[in-house]
Chain A
């Protein structure tokens, strides 16, 4: 995930992503789905190692930040290399103490979705709902950073807001289509025909219903993307 973030150059992107990394965003059940761990295990690790401790909402719910999700992935990667849970956490503690970056490798089979969405609130929901369904998500708030991400990260699918960068979403759709990347175009304005003509594979009217978004993404990727993983998504 950090690798994705490092690839974006737009200042707005950096600001929003840095701000989001420390905030509690995800419920424990969502994190469980995202990293592939039972909820009980996450709780046990929290109690035992007191390292990945989420903030609590006013009503007491655990809320994990994106950085904490990466920490859990880091731990799992080390365990996959043969360390015990205790040793993996010790290593994680050292990394944090030294101020070294902590990131987990997206596991084989995970699929990267690029969200080209300038509205921070819409982007937050879309990212959340896609991640809780097991996708990896990269975000771009301008057409330029979206193109750069396409070059550097090879996403499996792009969700493009047609009003991005002053309404240049249609040309972005064309660009992604030319590179063979499936596109879900989204907009608050009805623009189905123009989007499809510009190469989008699907169009969704905003505000986005999470179920429709996830269904559209799944339909376009096909179940094989989950079973086998797109090579470019594993990076």
Chain B
């Protein structure tokens, strides 16, 4: 018998340290519409077998017929399993007629007759109303926990609990695992977030994890937050050209492979173009590259690159465009990591960091996110060029506050220089890790061959 109850969705099981504990009581809490019932049904159909069936008890908050009717719209809902490996039962009329003692009796009878591997009670919180006082509810809870604990079955209790109730209601002390579904804020918009509040006897990934509800059930994007890794990893000694010969000279023959380079500058200063030089230079050398853009879609990007003699349709070039509207940074990151893995990319361009920053819930989360992402690329020997738009046309006052500059190996600053009759673009290398660099401020022009330093 597995010691974990799996959801059928690997990212969720990963967040739960391998899955919910088997033979244990788990609570799923959240407000109406947060997807508690969908998640409970996901677990039900994932784990149901004729030998170890699932019993899904509805109580009084939602009629059984409604739960089943809406369940039918989900991909995993298997009509043929009903009555064979998934049994829906109504506890509502029992508790109405016989009180909480009747609930314990019906559950015990069901355990004896069906020998379930999983029991769902939806909604558990609604049972509170049937106790005359809190002491009675505690007695009921004690007996139910005893009866469930004496048989090898997992239990999912679903309920609309408020945050304050998590610390005060007795079922939270009884539960071995608590999973909270809520809405978190990222700037002015909200996003669905799952948080593991308690998981006895197991590690889990802390913090808020964004999720979406789809016909396939819950789709979770674990918070990208890798602990600092201390292991060694091999890196090539062959430097990666920036694609701009004069800049390579300033960088002491290009970037170290696996390095992350932040290109910061005001709007229109040439950040994206510098990234494209980097990608297409790699492509010319047979190194696959990924352009992860939140700025231009593929059509717009093709129009831009054609002007410099490139094409996004070239072999070894992959464009990953995502709209910055309604984006989850972790969903985006996992998409990118998968794309890098699929294409075998050695170089990536992320354009731009500002869009990701706006989608992050706060500064701390953003720093943690960028650190983890950059570390993953470094360990794989993938060189990353990341663009960052900064205010101030004629020289940046500071780069701090973006949260990422300390995490970059190299920083290249683009700016404008105003003389009496014109405005020129300039480039300067302000940081390189493990190599020397030329600190000069070099003017450059953008022509048919892209960026050319004067």
Contacts and interface: CB of A to CB of B under 8 A. Distances in A.
A156 to B, nearest CB: 23
Nearest to B146: A121
Given A58-B94, A207-B23, A121 B150 contact: yes
Interface string A200-213: 00000011111000
A27 B93 CA distance: 21
Contacts of A25: 112
Given A121-B146, A122-B150, A210 B115 contact: yes
A207 B117 CA distance: 12
B109 A125 contact: no
A30 B112 CA distance: 10
A130 to B, nearest CB: 12
Given A27-B113, A58-B98, A58-B106, A125 B1 contact: no
A63 B109 contact: yes
Interface string B137-164: 0000001001101111100000000000
B109 A119 contact: no
A208 B152 contact: yes
Interface string B388-409: 0000000000000000000000
Contacts of A122: 150
Interface residues of A, number: 21
Given A57-B105, A58-B93, A58-B97, A209 B1 contact: yes
A125 B150 contact: yes
Contacts of B147: 121
A209 B93 CA distance: 30
Interface in B89-119: 89-90, 93-94, 97-98, 102, 105-106, 108-109, 111-113, 115
A119 B146 contact: yes
4 closest Cβ pairs, A-B complex = A121-B150, A58-B94, A122-B150, A207-B152
Interface of B: 1, 23, 89-90, 93-94, 97-98, 102, 105-106, 108-109, 111-113, 115, 143, 146-147, 149-153
15 contacts: A27-B113, A57-B106, A58-B94, A58-B102, A59-B106, A119-B150, A120-B146, A121-B150, A124-B108, A129-B112, A206-B150, A208-B151, A209-B1, A209-B152, A210-B115
